[in-house]
Structure 1
Amino acid sequence: MGSLRDYQRKRDFSKTREPAANEIGTAGRRAIFVVQLHHASRRHFDFRLQVGDVLKSWAVPKGPSYDPQVKRLAVEVEDHPVSYAGFEGDIEHGYGKGHVDQFDHGVWTTPGDAETQLQKGHLRFELFGKRLKGGWHLVRSGRKERQPAWFLIKARDAFAGDVEADDLLDAKMARSTRKAAKTPAAQAAAKKSTARKKSIPRAKRLPRLRLAKAAAALHGARPAAPSDGFFKPELARLRESPPEGAQWLHEVKWDGYRILAAIAEGEVKLWSRNALPWNERLPDIVQSLESLGLHSARLDGELVALDARGHSDFNGLQQTLAGEAQLPLVYMLFDLPYLEGSDLSRVGLRERKQLLGNLLAHAPPHLAFSTHTIGNGQEAFRMATDEGLEGIISKRVDSAYHPGRGDDWLKIKRLESDEFAVVGYTPPRGSRSGFGSLLLARPDPQVKSGWIYVGRVGTGFSNEQLQRLGQTIADKGSARPTVKLAAIDPLLRDARWVRPAAVAEVYYRGIGNNNLLRQPSLKTMRTDKTPADLADSDRAGSKPATKSAGAKRRKPAAPKPADIKITHPDRVVFPDDGYTKQDIADYYASVMKWFLPGVVNRPTSVIRCPEGTAKACFFQKHLIPGLKHVGSVKLKEESGAQATYIYPLDAASVLELVQFGALEFHPWGSTVGQPELADRVVFDLDPGDDVAWPRVVAAARLMRRLLAQLGLESFLRTTGGKGLHVVVPLNPGCAWPQVKDFAHAFAATVAQAHPLEFIATAAKAQRSGRIYVDYLRNSRGATSVASYSLRARSGAPVAVPLRWSELGKLKSGHDFDIRSTPTRLARLRSDPWAGIDGVQQELGDIIGKLR
């Protein structure tokens, strides 16, 4: 998300103990903040917020103030690595010489995208530290300064008060301040921090004794000792339709993580439903519960991130917990089985919820009451469906709180339905006849007449349907799949695959891992449609609308590119050339039909330059708040954790990313439907500074000839930089480890055979006079620039596919730019890469030949 170039340039890491880069892993952790007291030539506080993989940093000379009327100058400095948050001690030489103490640290949140807010000059955020709490603002100053100047201002909330940073120094920091105090101002600050002590303002506490009496007076309440240990939650059974009658209440089914809170002697402990401790991951929720001032309690609820409409956003929740976003989290509470010495598990649910509502009447915003309606379950479910919510939870109004799954709590999920082609079947098992399940697929938008497997459906069939369909498909098909498979499924070992011949409409409960349908069940066989109807509809851009059971409203039509508003169209993005943000949008719109095939349905990293190429640019590969028209998919990273990656769906996706500042697009060599199978191998010919262009041309021709000797057809592309890409398509695709081994072996073979021309190691010191065959783009998660993508370089060059016959006319790898590329495409009669998706070739035993 940021650049450490300036940070590293200003330091000599052979002399400083400061971390050179992110030396500790940060994946899977909440976004943090840290404030450090720095006794440099001028004493100041360093205020740092994690945005992506860097700490955005400001020097605050007088430190933060809790007074909302005080505007503290905050001078923006270079980004720091996230591992800098743990740094304390002396900087002994050079830049920043002096002593560093940690003043405070914790997690932080903000509604919306942090980068976008910073770009606009006003960041609203909330801190959850030991010393700094509540809402804050960073507002860019209008003054012209050598370094960007901001103001750090406390929000008007329950924590606001007459407290300064120096009032909160502990003994260790006060000693450091006295030791470093040399100037009169520093001596005055040291004296003040010793003489004047104030505590952090606290929110108004609830009348605990009154609540305790109300709890003890409820019918069924029993005295019981408090405990901060895990307690087993009550669970709901899945039902197809909601129950009717006034004996049932209905709540929204929140799409988040179940969290149990136990308080004993004022200490809060959070647990997952599987008894895992969650305090460290949720300091914001812990602080909010502590602010209630309770001595003992047990609370049950769902941890959610809320979108702008107030709906739970599960992707946003996952991204925030993984440090990829900073959305505010809310603990949506729906039960209170214990309070202040009283076991309420035998009290009726309606009374428990009424007491819970009183408890939360003046709670901080991170604690919310899950409201309900009583009776009329069908109407409650219809409203939830119309709003696009996950469903409802129905509960008996007079029920006790029982651990485990029972019939007092029922969950009714919104069902979606869509139409899919039948592409095979599994054999029947046990007493079942005909078949076990039907195999389903959707049209592949990248391959004409191609299909992508989406799962299998084995429930919802009548006996008549089983018999009739079984007779139709029995003993037909082959063991070889006729569609793309996202992953190997052992349950498909005995499957028989057929050409798409029928259409099934299927209910399902969302999309799961590997983009497969969750809990599908047959709605009906669409005898009025053929697979060709689905394929034609998909190619026309009007994929059948996903339908919700019980819903009367249709989903809105997909946005047109014209619907994407480009804000600040006159902002200059390429300062040396004068190209604006609108020029970028116009370029991508003009080349869209050529550009889309290389990025659609591929996990794609973009390079964003929100303030132009002269300022910080950064990679973006994960979903961020605010993106509405871009696809997202959960993929495993090297660490084993899952992350949500973005990918373009259509022209609107591309222009939305341009609106967010994207200039360059770098897709994977595989699709979201088959992330483990590569369908491209890319060799980047990167010449040393002293290599003449004709040698690069000759090198590309040699690469083509050597690949042809192995039986592999290849294609050519300029990079928009110094070199060329030689691209090898794979169809039906190969596993990433095999592709990586092949690319490495081929590059090494070329370098060994022609040592004066090529090198296959990345060391720049050894590249002089030679061409580096970069094979490192051929591993899972690696990317290479897309065809027709702009490059964030002077002149706005473009990566352009070529015919091999055009190679001799090139003068450099950046011959084409934002102006000449659309002109070239307007003159072309056919695609230079025509037929690349139809090339049938794979690596097979080629690696063995190379070795």
Structure 2
Amino acid sequence: MTPKKRKKDAEDDENAAERDRLAEYRGRRDPGRTPEPVPRESAVPRGDDDTFVVQEHHASSLHWDLRLERDGVLVSWAVPKGLPWSPDTNHLAVHTEDHPLEYATFEGEIPRGEYGAGKMTIWDAGTYETEKWSEREVKIIIHGARVSGRYVLFRTGGRNWMIHRMDPPADPEAEPLPESLRPMRPVERNRLPRDQDAWAFEFAWGGRRLVAYVEGGRTRFTDDRGRAVDGPGGLGSRLGAALGARPALLDGELAVLEGREIYMIYDVAHLDGRPLLEVPYRERRERLDALELSGARWQTAPWFPGDGDAVRDAAAGQGLPGVVAKRLDSGYEPGEESDAWRLVPGSPTRRPGGRA
């Protein structure tokens, strides 16, 4: 084969790849192993170039995939922290391979060992309008159920782009998580409250106090003095993935239970852009329970309205230090030692050598 012939064949291959915008997508996937749609044909322009979808992707690290229909494919970006809700912050958006239009409705589990392995769910979907589309800048207006407004994606280098919200905040009343919060502390008492119907009771775990700030699928921690600390390995990313796009400030203890460190979560002081410091303890606990936070390294701690004597006896049977009584109508007082929370030592009938 002559050099001229080789050059022509290479140009033909390059032109074919340009025509087949799904070549990279197909090259990364085995249709016999993944449930993802893997069409055989090259992309054929169809539709109105107005479909968008945001998929929550629990891969090796949680992220959100923004996909926009354009010329017969879904042009895609991986957004590690999700779409920004306010123009005050820009989020990284990594341009990935084009996806087939069928992917706009895909939800499922990509098998381990396959590209992008992990659970994929649709976080939001709808239509969008194009204001500008170039190789370096994409301006759009999104119309979705969970997110809407004007956004711009702009290229910063290579596959890296940034996404910026151009409209005012989606929720003008939303407040960001505080940078630091010192947890509320109980006073020590020798006896349980007399009016037990006005109180709820939790186990005292005897662990290390940790406040968790969860946002954009990531978690950071502070200690009982509000100082930044490292969380146990793997806890932060997994807890962040459990909450997904919901920002939350959680209060709890890192306790040793049956030989394992478990983050026992017993309060929520900020959720979905709303501070809950003035919300009564009962309602905060109900909101915390509704999050259904339960994993190998974290659990929502139980709480028991009313019968403190039974909880105290149960704590003694488990070899725990005692109980914490909390008034059902009490707010959350950051950094304060409050009589609305009372630490009561274990029952005199406590059996030594119980589980810890």
Range of TM-score over shorter length = 0.3 to 0.5
TM-score (norm 1): 0.19
TM-score (norm 2): 0.44
Larger radius of gyration: 1
* Structure with more contact order per residue of length (Cα contacts < 8 Å, sep ≥ 6): 2
